[in-house]
Structure 1
Amino acid sequence: MATVKLMTDAEADSIPEVKAVFDDIRETRGSDFINNVWRALAYDPQGLKRTWEHLKSVMAVPGAIDPKIREMIYIAVSAANGCGYCVHSHTAAAKAKGMSEEEHGELMQIIALAGMTNHLVTALQVPVDPEFDAIDT
């Protein structure tokens, strides 16, 4: 259950700043659907706008990383951070962008493996090999 009320379209239409963001979400995504995260953020119009603009500037622009891969990365980070909402929404987005069931299965195995080995290395406090120093490569 949400800790805030989810804003309806009728309520959003009465607040110009919120209506503008909802309209931009619809236009950017080519869909009339506004997901609950935006409806929850809508009661803070400045925060809504800031969050949408940041997400849009990373996830909805051309770049070196393919949009499907961006969504898959978002799934992995969301799983690591324990955000079930984001796991679901970005899995749906990745599938809409062409992620296959095989790719999803491999992604789940990579997430599980990385979590396990990250915990092992953290627990063992393994020093980083000089060859892996990102500054020198």
Structure 2
Amino acid sequence: MSAKRIATVTPVSEEAATGKVAAVFADIKATKNITFVPNLWRVLATNPDHLELVWTRLKAIMHPEACGRASKLDPLVREIIALAVSATNGCAYCVNSHTAAVRKLGLDVEALGEVMAVVGLFNTTNSLADAYQIEPDILPPLE
């Protein structure tokens, strides 16, 4: 019997991680306050430089407090945005990950439904506006 397939490449196990990969794995667990390295990161670890690049960018944007920076958006808002984009892009892995994150941050099932209703509504209206090639007439201020 073969092992369960996780991706198109063999993920790097936490036990096999060394050097840069081990350091990034440790930072992921510490920053996210989790006890394991999720599959996404284990797969990206097949290219240590790419793993480090993606993690550094994600950490700076999604966990700015861990980088010593304040954010105008609270963690729940950042995760709701990530969930909305993930649902729109059809990424099951990310939808599950960010749904877990928003629930961990206190969003209840009813509010989750409201988030998904907004996502669905604007996927529809965006598609309609794009399909009709409607000229924008409500513009944001420049400053």
- TM-score higher than 0.5 here? yes
Q: Which whole-Å CA distance do the structure 2 matches of 1:125 and 1:49 have between them? A: 40
1:123 is aligned with what amino acid?
A
- Which runs of structure 2 are paired with 1:119-134 in the superposition (5 Å)? 119-129=127-137, 132-134=138-140
- Considering fraction of residues, name the structure with more helix: 1
Q: Does 1:55 align with 2:61?
A: no
Q: Unpaired runs of 5+ in structure 2? A: 1-5, 65-69
The aligned residue for residue 3 of structure 2 is: none
Uncovered stretches (5+) of structure 1, i.e. residues with no partner: none
Instruction: State, as a whole percentage, how many aligned pairs show the same letter.
Output: 41
Shift of 1:23: 0.8
Structure 2 counterpart of 1:86: 94
Quick one: distance in 2 between partners of 1:118 and 1:30?
36
Q: Give SS of 2:22's match.
A: helix
Per-residue deviation, 1:135: 4.8
Deviation of residue 103 (structure 1)? 1.1
Q: 2:14 aligns with which of 2, 5, 9?
A: 9
Root-mean-square deviation over aligned CA pairs = 1.3
Q: Once the two structures are superposed, what CA deviation does each residue of 1:35-74 show, in whole Å capped at 9, x if it has no partner?
A: 0000000110010011001000011123111101110100
Taking the aligned partners of 1:127 and 1:89, their CA distance within structure 2 comes to: 36
- Which segments of structure 1 move beyond 4 Å, counting only runs of 4 or more? none
Do the aligned partners of residues 123 and 24 (structure 1) sit closer, same or farther apart at CA in structure 2, a change above 3 Å counting? same
> 1:99 and 1:48 mapped to 2: Cα distance?
29
Aligned to 1:36: 39
Q: What per-residue deviation string (whole Å, max 9, x for no partner) do you get for residues 88-126 of structure 1?
A: 001101110111112101001001100111111111111
Q: CA deviation at 1:134?
A: 2.8
Residues matched between the structures, number = 133
AA at the equivalent of 2:16: E
Q: Secondary structure at the match of 2:36?
A: coil
Structure 2: distance between partners of 1:84 and 1:31 = 20
